[in-house]
Amino acid sequence: MSDDVLICPHCGEENLASATRCLHCGLPLEEAFAIDGLKDISSSLTGDFVKAEEESLPDLFRDLHEEADLQKKAAKIEALSSIESTTNKAEEDASEELEAEDTIPEWLKKIRQRAQVEDDSSGDLIKKVNARDEIPQPSEQSQVDNEFEDWLRQIRLNARRDSIQPLVEEPTIPGLDEETPSWLQKLREIKETENEPEPELKPQTEETLPEWVEEEQEHLASSDSSLSKGHPEHTQPLQLAPEVTQMPGESIGLGETGAEKIEIGKDQTKEGEALEKIIGQVGFPTGTEGKAFLEAFEQERPETADLLLLRSQRDRAKDLKDMVENEGKAGVLPKQQKAPRNKFFQLVLYLLVLSVIALPLFSGAIDTKINGTMQPVSLAFFDSVSQLTAQESVLIVIDYQPGSSAEMAAIFQPVLDHLTRQAVKKSFITTYPEGVWLTSQLIGQEESLTETGTTYLPGAKIGLMNLSLDTSAALSPGLVSSDLFGSQYDLDYDSIILLTDSFNGGKNWLELVGPFISADKSLLMVASTQEAAMFLPYFDSAQLDGLLAGLNESALYNNALGKSSSISINRSYQAGLLIMAACFVIGIITSIGVKERPESQEDVP
C-alpha cells in the first residue's frame, strides 16, 4: 500500500488513497485499512466469542461490568429482556435480573407492579422535561461512525472533482463577478453547459484521461443517456413552452431541452438498446427493472433546497412576465354559454302578446253594460249628492295631473250630470296651475253647466292650511267669488267634492282641511281605482263621506242615474289591464323550474 495509490484486495486494481470502495469492482476497500494483529470485529461480534472473551476478562473488569449492569437493571427491565433475545450477554443479564428479583422483598415488588399500572406523581412539566431527556441520543460510537462516513464521502467527492477539474475546462462566463447572485450563476452555468456541444470536449480530454476515469465517464454518460432517452417506445413529439427552463438537479424527463421539438423514433430506439447492453455490462439493472429503478429513483430522490428555490423563482418570474405582457390589455372573460332557447315557445309567446294587444283594437267599440250594485262607499257618495238641493253650493276641487285627466273626467262625468240634475251651484278650485285649463275641459263637456269661475290655490299644503284658516286671505282677490266664500273662518259651502289621482293630494285635503269642515257638510272624493284602497280607511273612520273610485263604479253610478255607460276609454283601459295580466301569467308560466338567483347576480331593472 503506497501513499498515492490503494490496491484493491479483490481485483488488484489501483484506487485513490482516500477511496473506501473500489472504482473497478465496487467492493469495499476496508481491508486495506485493517490493522495488523486485530481480528475482524464484524465477523466475531456474535457467537460464543463474546462469552469466551468475557470469561477471559480479569476479575476487576468483570466486577466493573456487573456493577454497571446492576445500575441499569431497575429502570430497563423490558429493554434488557429484548436484548436477552438477541445476544448471549443479554441472556446472562436477564438471568441475573431474575435472581435479583428473587431477592427483592415482597413490598418492593408490589410497588413496582403498581408503578407499571399507574402514572407517577410527577407533573406535566416534569414529564415533558423527562421525556425530552429520554429521547434516545445516538451513541458516541455511532456519532463517530457518522462523522467518519461524512469525512470519507467528502474526501471522495473532492478527489473526484480534483481529478476531473484539470481535464475539463470550466467555461468562462462573461460578466460573472462576485456581485452576481448564486442562483443566477447557477442558471448561467446551466445555460452554458447546455449550449456547449459535448463532442468537442471529448477529443481534448481523450488523451490525458486515465483509463479508470474514462470508464467512469462512460458509466456516467450511459446512465445519463438512459435517463434522458427514457422509454424508447415513446414516439410522440413533445412541445415544451419556450419559457420553461431546466433547473439543475431536475429531471430532464424525456430528453428534450429548451424549446426544441424532439421526436424520438426508431433510431433512438436502437441507441437505447445499445445503451441498455452497456448498462447491463456495468451491472446496472436493465429492461423493465431498470425502468422501475429509474422511476423509483425519480420519485424518491430528495429535492434540494436550491432546486426548490430555483423552481419558485422560475415560477415567479413567469408570473411577472405574464403580468408585464398583459399590462394594459383588456381582460378576456370566458363567454357564458347561453341556455338554448326554444324558438317555438318564444314565437307562441310573442303571438299571444300581440293578440292581447290587437284584440281590443280590432274588436271595435262594443258597449259593455255594467250590471251589479255599487259598493257602500259609492252608495254613500250617491246619497250625499242626492241630498243636495237647488240652492246649495258645491266646491269641486281639481287635484289631478293632466296625464290622468281622461280617466278622472270619465269617472266624474256621471257625478257632474247628477249635480246638474240637482241644479246645485258649482264652484271650482285647483291646487295645480294646470288645473285651470283642466277645469275648462271638464266644464266644456257639460253644456248646461253654469260656470262660476275657477280659483287657483297656491302654496300646495301650506295653502290648504291657510284656506282652512282664512278663506279670503288664502285666495287671490281677483279669483275669489265673493258670494262663495262669505265667511272668514269657515268655507261657505254645503259640500266639497275632491277629484284626485294621488294619495298625497287627497290626504292633504282630508287631514288639513277636513278637520275645519263642520259636521253638517259633506266631504266627498272621486279617485282612481289604484288609490281607492288608501282612501277607504278614511271612509271607515268617517273622515270621508263618500268615495267614487274607478270606471266600473262610475258606470254603476251612471246606471243608478238611469243611463247606460259605454265609453271608448273603457275599452282601451281594459285592453291595458288585459296586457298586464297576460304578461304576469306568461311570466309565471315561463319561470317554472327557475331557481332563485343569489343577491349578487340579480339584475337591477
Interface positions with another protein (CB under 8 A): 368-373, 375, 401-406, 433-434, 436-437, 440-441, 454, 456, 458-460, 462-463, 465-466, 469-470, 473, 489, 529, 532-537, 540, 550-552, 555-556, 570, 574, 576-581, 583-588, 590-597, 602-603, 605
Closest distance of CB 386 from another protein, Å? 22
Nearer to another protein among residue 70 and residue 533 (C-beta): 533
- All three cell numbers of 89, joined, read 450477554
What does DSSP assign to residue 549?
A: E
Residue type, 510: L
Return the residue matching grid coordinates 467512469.
216
Closer residue to another protein (CB): 519 or 594: 594
Q: Which is nearer to another protein, 245 or 454 (CB)?
A: 454
Pairing of strands 522-527, 393-399: unpaired
Backbone angles phi, psi at 137, to 5 degrees: -90, 140
Residue 179's φ and ψ, nearest 5 degrees, are -80, -15
Half-sphere exposure of 347 (CA within 13 A, CB side): 3
Q: First and final CA of the chain: distance in angstroms? A: 97
Comparing CB distances to another protein, the nearer of 92 and 434 is 434
How near is the Cβ of 531 to another protein at its closest, in Å? 9
Pairing of strands 393-399, 5-7: unpaired
Minimum CB separation from another protein for residue 524, in Å? 19
* Beta partners for residue 548, in sequence order: 526
Cβ-based nearer residue to another protein, 414 or 550 = 550
Where do we find the cell 281639481?
Answer: 398
- Grid cell digits, residue 589: 308560466
Q: How far apart are CA 479 and CA 429, in angstroms?
A: 10
C-alpha cell of residue 576: 291595458
Least Å distance, CB 337 to another protein, is: 18
- In whole angstroms, the minimum distance from the beta carbon of 327 to another protein comes to 32
Q: Which residues have CB under 8 Å from 396's CB, separation 6+? A: 426, 427, 428, 429, 496, 497, 499
β-sheet bridge partners, residue 5: 16
Phi-psi region of 247 (alpha: psi -120 to 50; beta: other; left: phi over 0): beta
Residue 559 C-beta: closest distance to another protein, Å? 11
User: How near is the Cβ of 442 to another protein at its closest, in Å?
Assistant: 12
Shortest spacing between CB 356 and another protein, in angstroms: 11
Tally the residues of the chain. 605
CB of 335 to another protein, least distance (A): 21
**Shortest gap between Cβ of 362 and another protein (angstroms)?**
18
Q: Which is nearer to another protein, 275 or 467 (CB)?
A: 467
| CA trace torsion 202, 204, 206, 207 (10° rounding) | 170
Q: For residue 429, list its beta bridge partners.
A: 397, 455
Output 148 or 489, the one with its CB closest to another protein.
Answer: 489
Q: Which is nearer to another protein, 187 or 556 (CB)?
A: 556
* Least distance CB 481 / another protein (angstroms): 14
**Position 1: which residue type?**
M
User: Angle 405-422/551-560 helices, nearest 10 degrees?
Assistant: 20
Instruction: Indicate the residue among 226 and 500 with the shorter CB distance to another protein.
Output: 500
| C-alpha to C-alpha distance for 246 and 389, rounded to whole angstroms | 108
Nearest to 418 by CA among 524, 344, 521: 524
Is the CB of residue 187 less than 8 Å from the CB of residue 245? Answer: yes
Nearer to another protein, 280 or 402 (CB): 402
**Min. distance of Cβ 423 from another protein in angstroms?**
26
Closest CB to another protein among residues 320, 581: 581
Residue closer to another protein, measured from CB, 240 or 465: 465
Residue 205: other Cβ atoms inside 10 A: 16
Backbone angles phi, psi at 500, to 5 degrees: -140, 150
